[in-house]
């Protein structure tokens, strides 16, 4: 199947009670790790770049070509969408131009009328090229100085108005936040999610900040209508922990590791990237998208 837009497989997830993963990438090996996991699990997947990660990697064109080339070179058969995560308006337009197959326009920092008006424009331009669109209402924040106990809740009327723009899936705050959850986090507001999904029946909801939410809450959110779960921090932590362990082992066995040339970056970074594959496979199991390709 290879590179596709995401609306069909995200809607199929919504219709059949599971979720697909939207996994953020940061570099070549990260992308390979996600692709390996998705292929092993026979799961549809979105590989997404934040604006910052795309800049870090060399721009949207490079990211698009990297994912596309790897899908071909690795013989990937599962559906893969090349997705922009939290894109400003200009970035959304650039990704439409460059050939991303899925776009998140994030106008949540704008007044809601402007957010909705801009989303409508993005939908028109993206759909003309067969590109799927995600947009956000409310704001999905992150921990600030350890004082965030609860993420924001998206206003239901705003969610309905955003869905009416023709977007394909909706990111809406239900108490979730990006990054690690603080100890005083109150959990997902599943009652609010229920109200949301009742207001937009059958419409796919995206759960951002997927790292660190207890699995039972994720599964209940999926049962209620979440069809895409975004994961970034969890893969970063998996990579960092495995790399840190490798460095500790290296320090303890320096002569032996040097003799084996484990200073070669292809070997040095391998445990970290293998850990990402394991983390992604594990998330796919929890989301229920194994075998859904």
- Answer for which of 5, 6, 19, 24 binds ligand 13P (CB under 6 A) is 24
Strand intervals (E) in 95-232: 102-105, 132-137, 169-172, 205-207, 226-231
Q: Does 83 bind ligand 13P (CB under 6 A)?
A: no
- Establish whether 24 is an annotated binding residue: no
- Establish whether 136 is an annotated binding residue: yes
- Residue 50 token pair: 């934040």
- Establish whether 106 is an annotated binding residue: yes
Please say whether the beta carbons of 1 and 79 come within 8 A: yes
Task: Give the CA diameter of the chain.
Answer: 64
Give the C-alpha separation, 198 to 272, whole Å. 41
Which of 85, 91, 168, 189 is an active site residue?
85
- Establish whether 157 is an annotated binding residue: no
- The three-state secondary structure class of 32 is helix
Nearest distance, CB of residue 193 and ligand 13P, angstroms = 16
Give the C-alpha separation, 273 to 243, whole Å. 9
**Nearer of residues 49 and 101 to ligand 13P, judged by Cβ:** 49
Within its chain, how far is the Cα of 211 from the centroid?
10
- Residue 187 token pair: 């959990």
Residue whose entry in the numeric block shows the structure tokens 């070669």: 264
- Establish whether 278 is an annotated binding residue: no
**Nearer of residues 86 and 118 to ligand 13P, judged by Cβ:** 86
Nearest distance, CB of residue 185 and ligand 13P, angstroms = 12
**Nearer of residues 131 and 262 to ligand 13P, judged by Cβ:** 131
Q: Does 108 bind ligand 13P (CB under 6 A)?
A: no
Counting residues that bind ligand 13P (by CB under 6 A) gives 14
**Nearer of residues 29 and 85 to ligand 13P, judged by Cβ:** 85
CA distances from 277 to 36, 68, 144, 284, 290 (A): 7, 19, 30, 11, 14
Question: For residues 179-238, which are near ligand 13P according to CB under 6 A?
Answer: 179, 208-211, 230-234
**Nearer of residues 206 and 262 to ligand 13P, judged by Cβ:** 206
The reply to whether 85 belongs to the active site is yes
The partner residues of 132 in beta bridges, in order of sequence, read 102
Q: How many CB atoms lie within 10 A of CB 101?
A: 26
Residues catalogued as catalytic: 85
The annotated binding site for dihydroxyacetone phosphate is made up of: 179, 209-211, 230-233
The annotated binding site for Zn(2+) is made up of: 86, 106, 136, 178, 208
- Chain residues that interact with ligand 13P, rule: CB under 6 A: 24, 85-86, 178-179, 208-211, 230-234
């Amino acid at each position: 199947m290879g590179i596709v837009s995401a609306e069909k497989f995200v809607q199929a997830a919504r219709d059949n009670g599971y979720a697909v993963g939207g996994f953020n990438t940061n570099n070549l090996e990260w992308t390979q790790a996600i692709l390996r996991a998705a292929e092993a699990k026979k799961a549809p997947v979105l590989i997404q770049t934040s604006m910052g990660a795309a800049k870090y990697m060399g721009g949207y064109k490079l990211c698009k070509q990297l994912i596309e080339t790897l899908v071909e070179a690795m013989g990937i058969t599962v559906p893969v969408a090349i997705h922009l995560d939290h894109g400003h308006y200009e970035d959304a337009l650039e990704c439409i131009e460059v050939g991303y197959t899925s776009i998140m326009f994030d106008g949540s920092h704008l007044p809601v009328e402007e957010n909705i008006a801009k989303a409508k424009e993005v939908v028109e331009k993206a759909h003309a090229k067969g590109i799927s669109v995600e947009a956000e209402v409310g704001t999905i924040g992150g921990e600030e100085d350890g004082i965030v106990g609860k993420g924001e809740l998206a206003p239901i009327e705003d969610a309905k108005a955003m869905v009416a723009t023709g977007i394909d899936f909706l990111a809406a705050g239900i108490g979730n936040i990006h990054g690690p959850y603080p100890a005083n986090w109150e959990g997902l507001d599943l009652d609010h999610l229920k109200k949301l999904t009742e207001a937009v029946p059958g419409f796919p909801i995206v759960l951002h900040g997927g790292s660190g939410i207890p699995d039972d809450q994720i599964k209940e959110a999926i049962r209620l209508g979440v069809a895409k779960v975004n994961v970034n921090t969890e893969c970063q932590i998996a990579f960092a922990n495995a790399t840190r362990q490798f460095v500790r082992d290296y320090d303890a066995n320096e002569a032996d590791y040097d003799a084996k040339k484990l200073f070669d970056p292809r070997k040095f970074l391998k445990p970290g990237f293998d850990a990402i594959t394991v983390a992604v496979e594990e998330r796919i199991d929890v989301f229920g998208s194994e075998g859904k390709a």
